[in-house]
Amino acid sequence: MARSKVSKDEWTMAALRALARGGVSAVAVDQLARELGVTRGSFYWHFENRDALLVAALETWEARATTDVIAALGKLTDARVRARALFDEALGSEEIGGLEPALVAQTMHPAVAEVVARVNRTRIAYLTDIFTDVGFGTDDARNRALSAYAAYLGWLELRRIAFDSAPETRLTDPRSAAALEHLIAMILTPAGS
């Protein structure tokens, strides 16, 4: 039985799931309406067009996966605790599997490129601040931020594509916690220690 209306958030989350499984082209209003069990008219209650849905979905991803995480971690005063909590959150959970690698792969689309670039800048700056607060010098903090962010993106990509060769990246693997702990320790340990 079809529902008559769903919330804007339900549409944006459906769009994010579509992005994860098939990129920008998978954000198709008719297909999403079928998945949500509503008519196309429900879509127009919330959005002017498909591009408006895409932008709303990307802004939702930015808020949930970056802005909200940074705000929550801001309550932690110890920089090392904050760094560990960030890595645990970023790599220890995934609301929509494969979304981040899918978005990175879709940056030829202007709306995706704009949001991904903004998220990258925000995340790298936040990581740099954390490493500075831990006690690393300016250049070292920036380099560790870049390395940590590259490791994060790589970890998610391995989780998505390397089921057999890197099972530790999957949350369900019993070795996942130890592998994540090793990565965090490498990133937080000063050179030569």
Q: Check which CATH number belongs to the domain holding 172 and give it.
A: 1.10.357.10
CA 142/CA 51 separation, integer angstroms: 35
Residue 26 belongs to a domain: no
Helix axes 110-134, 138-161, angle to 10 degrees: 130
Average pLDDT over residues 79-89: 90
Of the candidates 10, 71, 3, 84, the residue with the CA atom closest to the CA atom of residue 37? 3
The band of 160, judged by pLDDT with boundaries at 50, 70 and 90, is confident
CB neighbour list of residue 35: distance below 8 Å, 6 or more residues apart: 14
Asked whether residue 46 is assigned to any structural domain, the reply reads: no
- What letter does residue 38 receive in the DSSP assignment? -
- Structure token pair of residue 22: 């098939």
Residue tagged 């903090």 (tokens): 141
Residue 75: domain span:
55-188
pLDDT in tens, 178-187: 998 898 888 8
